[in-house]
Chain A
Amino acid sequence: MEIQYVYTKKRAEFGRQCIFSDRPAELLVDIAPNPDALKEFVERDPVDRGVQVVQEMSEHDVNTERFETDSHGLNHAEGGWPKDVNAQEVEQVIRFRKKVEKDEMYISTVQTLGGQMEHCIKQNNAIDIYQDYFSDVEIQASEEPPSAKTINVFKDPYKDRGVAHISWYPDGPTKLAIAYCNTDFQRAPKDTSTESYVWDVINPNSPEMTLKPVSPLVCLEYNPKDAHILVGGCYNGQVAYWDCRKGSQPIETSEVSTGHRDPVWKVIWNQSKTGTECFSVSTDGQVLWWDIRKFAEPIEKLYLDATKKQDASQAQGAYVLEYEPTIPTKFMAGSEQGAIFSCNRKGKTDADKIVAVYPGHIGPVYALQRNPQFPKIFMSVGDWTTRIWSEDIKENAIMWTKYHQSGLTDGCWSTVRPAVFFTSKTDGTLDVWDLLFKQNDPTLTVQVSDEPLQSLRLQEHGRLMACGSQGGVATIVELSEGFYAQNRNERNLVNTIFERETRREKILEARHREMKLKEKKGGGGVS
């Protein structure tokens, strides 16, 4: 309650000088204690109170700006000569040398040093003191826990673009070609740059080469046969190819009229005698084959039509293509509707061209790849799971992972170990699965970035993984030895796993068929 003291003063007396005087204290308010109020409270016994005698500290973190390094060469010239000797003049040099050689100390020093040196030379000649013992004993499987380490990070100089595709240089892990594109439908601001870059792994500060297509690149691939040629698919449906030696402009681009009508999501090089054939797929439902020497129009065309009639109106758009250079005429495409098409390029009739359609996923299929060592087994990534299929079983996948919390965006098998595969998720994590170790969960989950990871690519040797995020940051992650060291038994064990699962599916399929037949017979009998 408020305690107030009010006083009045005549207006005529305002502003007069204040004259203070003492007077005894006057009681204004007297509030007596009210024992009834005590009933509203309960005595608390014991009372817990924490006390700490600790120095109060605060935490700050500081991150310095990116340090830009540059490498230069240094030229060493001959030096150390005393002032009066010119190193170029042979006479002066000889004179100086002769003078030093006459020095007494020189003679004795050289003799002592010579003695020491001879001892070591003779030692070297007698035995190899650096001999590696037990070098032929086999290295046991490494006991260290699986881990992955970020080695380098490449940032897109422009904002708003995500990493759409990554391709490693075929001749070794020295370069990366990264395609940047804002894939949100019509949401890219107007002056977004169309450039894509080739980065050198050692220098994350600035790209080695810029590629300037007409429209942003959605996918980019190095030609495995000729490491200077790159082919890229654009957001507007065109396909273009570059030669690294000839500059940033594409050597040739396909025509807008004969190409795709939607972004070209995947381009893969074909195994051909000339090494110049590639094929591309887009969400307009077409698969087009191109010869880079003649980009004016595609060599061949195929519609991804599930009804097997090559009907353009029924065609399903596709996001991914799968091609194995050892099986040159067959390929697979994963569609937007979730189906996986297995096709034969050399099919005689239209129906033969699409060999099989697998049920796939609930949403678009984002990645599709055959196991490099077991070509009959392939994996597909879509919706929130990864599924492993066997080519023979068309009804269902033979193995699948559980449904994850975040959607999966890309996946690939390890090039070295047949039981290992990788997936990237929209929460920015990279999952490494090892089927021999654990089949329910990923063996290792690494948080690579805070933004969703859009694409990933494993380098051929199996040790380095490049992941691209939606913010335009590409990270190179090095995997621990366990993931790329080959194990002798592995092939057999993995083979057994796959065969077992395939057999299980076959038995289930047979059972289903039996039950359907019984139903039909039973239904016929009753009616």
Chain B
Amino acid sequence: AEVEETFKRILSHKGVIGAIIVSYDGIPIRSSFAENDVTVQYCALIQQLAQKAKSAVRDLDPGNDLTFLRIRSKKNEIMVAPSPDYLLLVVQEPNDQP
């Protein structure tokens, strides 16, 4: 219910292409992408990357922790919000305002 609401609100923002909620072992719980293989691909690749980023931050300073991960590429931006059990992944197309 509230999950639905949050999810729909995120998707309604300008430029957002899609969103995925991933569990800690890489299973997509909720995905807005129609094709399953796109979802699976995003899950597998991004989850590993987020895990690596988290361990990197922790290794450099044990008191530190990863709060947010942004991957900006030529065509779009992938934003990852990590939590101990789940991962929220959003793909947005940036609005380049000159």
Write the residues of chain A forming the contact surface with B, with a CB cutoff of 8 angstroms: 76, 78-82, 96-97, 100-101, 105-107, 109-114, 116-118, 120-122, 124-125, 127-128, 130
B23 interface residue (CB < 8 Å to A) = yes
List the 3 closest pairs (A to B, CB-CB), nearest first: A80-B26, A114-B6, A113-B88
Contacts A97-B30, A121-B90, A121-B92 hold; do A127 and B21 have CB atoms under 8 A apart? no
Let me know if B94 and A114 touch, CB within 8 A: no
- List residues of chain B with CB within 8 A of the CB of A79: 26, 44
- List residues of chain B with CB within 8 A of the CB of A78: 40
A523–chain B nearest beta-carbon distance, Å: 80
Let me know if B88 and A114 touch, CB within 8 A: yes
A23–chain B nearest beta-carbon distance, Å: 85
Interface residue tally for chain B (C-beta within 8 Å): 38
A497–chain B nearest beta-carbon distance, Å: 42
Write the residues of chain B forming the contact surface with A, with a CB cutoff of 8 angstroms: 2-3, 6-7, 9-10, 13-16, 21, 23, 25-27, 29-30, 40-41, 43-44, 67-68, 70, 72, 77, 79, 81, 83, 85-86, 88, 90, 92, 94-97
Contacts A117-B88, A120-B70 hold; do A125 and B26 have CB atoms under 8 A apart? no
A159–chain B nearest beta-carbon distance, Å: 46
Let me know if A110 and B21 touch, CB within 8 A: yes
Partner of B27, one of A80, A101, A106: A80
B14–chain A nearest beta-carbon distance, Å: 5
Look across to chain B and name the residue whose beta carbon is closest to the beta carbon of A119. B68
User: For the complex, would chain A's binding face be called helix, strand, loop or mixed by DSSP majority?
Assistant: helix
Let me know if B81 and A100 touch, CB within 8 A: no
Q: How far is the CA of A114 from the CA of B96 in the complex (A)?
A: 23
B43–chain A nearest beta-carbon distance, Å: 8
- List residues of chain A with CB within 8 A of the CB of B43: 80
29 inter-chain pairs at a CB distance below 8 angstroms, sorted by A residue, are A79-B26, A80-B23, A80-B43, A82-B25, A97-B30, A100-B23, A100-B29, A101-B3, A101-B30, A106-B29, A107-B3, A109-B86, A110-B3, A110-B7, A110-B86, A110-B88, A111-B3, A113-B83, A114-B88, A116-B67, A116-B68, A116-B81, A117-B10, A117-B79, A118-B10, A118-B13, A120-B70, A120-B79, A125-B14
